Amino acid sequence: MINQKVEEKDDDMADQLSRVFAALGDPTRRDIVARLAAQDATVGELAAPYDVSLQAVSKHLKVLEDAGLVTRTRDAQRRPCHLEAEVFNLMTKWIERYRSEAEERYQRLDAVLAQMQGRTIRSHDQGAAS
């Protein structure tokens, strides 16, 4: 029961990660997010600067919404879009995890090389100062 829930959650998270990364893989969408970081905006306002149709921008917004990056509320015929900055944490956590893993590995490699150098085995350096 609980395990199943956890698995589901993991799947959902993985899917959301995929959707979020994929969503930000498009320059127009990244630009939209950048502008929404400054302030909420309607579809029309967001679409104005780009030379694509309003419908295209509407689609981009749907992608961002599916990724959980933006939410839309109602205001008469307008649909103000709001950035959900919370989702950024998901990405940052993923990135940070593997960055640190890689970095620690790099540190260990450095240590090994230093040790080798100490034993004068050094095979690929041309001028070891110390």
Interface ranges with DNA (CB under 7 A): 22, 25-26, 28, 42-45, 51-56, 58-63, 72, 74, 76-80
Cβ neighbours, 10 Å, residue 46:
22
Pairing of strands 81-83, 70-72: antiparallel
60 binds, among its own copies, DNA, none (CB under 5 to 8 A by kind): DNA
With respect to DNA, which residue has the nearer C-beta, 16 or 28? 28
With contacts defined by CB under 8 A, name the span among 1-9, 28-36, 54-62, 122-130 that binds its own copies: 28-36
Helix (H, G, I), strand (E, B) or coil at 126: coil
Identity of the amino acid at 61? L
Within 29-68, which residues bind its own copies (CB under 8 A)?
30, 33-34, 36-39
106 binds, among DNA, its own copies, none (CB under 5 to 8 A by kind): its own copies
Tell me the residue ranges of DSSP E strands in the chain: 70-72, 81-83
Contact, 54 vs 43, CB < 8 A?
yes
Q: How far is the CB of 85 from its own copies (least distance, A)?
A: 4
Half-sphere CA count of 15, side-chain side, radius 13 A: 8
Q: How far is the CB of 21 from DNA (least distance, A)?
A: 11
